[in-house]
């Protein structure tokens, strides 16, 4: 993982990404991953991250990360896609 981080940092630095922008993007992606892992539950995500829920909520607002954005990525697929998936699942059994 360290090698991947080093590569990413080198790419960002060589392309002229500002430090503040890099930190902001890292924080946004990190919080998004925690929220997705907890299915949008801010209380559980905050606990996992070791911060208070209000701090998480405030940080989300600062980073422009809305709960609607997180929940939209968690929605079930449309019915036509679910039918294909369930058919494949039955074939595997």
Token code pair at residue 2: 């360290």
Residue 25 pLDDT exceeds 70? yes
Residue 87 pLDDT exceeds 70? no
Mean pLDDT across the stretch 11-23?
93
Identify the residue with better confidence: 57 or 84. Answer: 57
Radius of gyration of the chain (CA): 18
Domains of the chain: 2-92 (1.10.10)
pLDDT in tens, 32-83: 999 999 989 999 999 999 999 999 999 999 999 988 878 777 776 666 665 5
Token code pair at residue 65: 């990360």
Predicted model pTM: 0.72
State residue 93's pLDDT score.
52
């Amino acid at each position: 993982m360290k090698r991947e981080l080093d590569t990413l940092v080198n790419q960002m630095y060589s392309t002229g990404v500002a430090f503040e922008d890099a930190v902001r993007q890292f924080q946004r992606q990190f919080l998004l991953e925690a929220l997705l892992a907890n299915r949008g539950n801010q209380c559980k995500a905050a606990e996992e991250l070791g911060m208070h829920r209000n701090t998480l909520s405030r940080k989300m607002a600062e980073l422009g990360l809305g709960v609607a954005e997180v929940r939209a990525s968690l929605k079930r697929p449309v019915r036509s896609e679910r039918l294909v998936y369930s058919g494949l699942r039955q074939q595997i059994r």
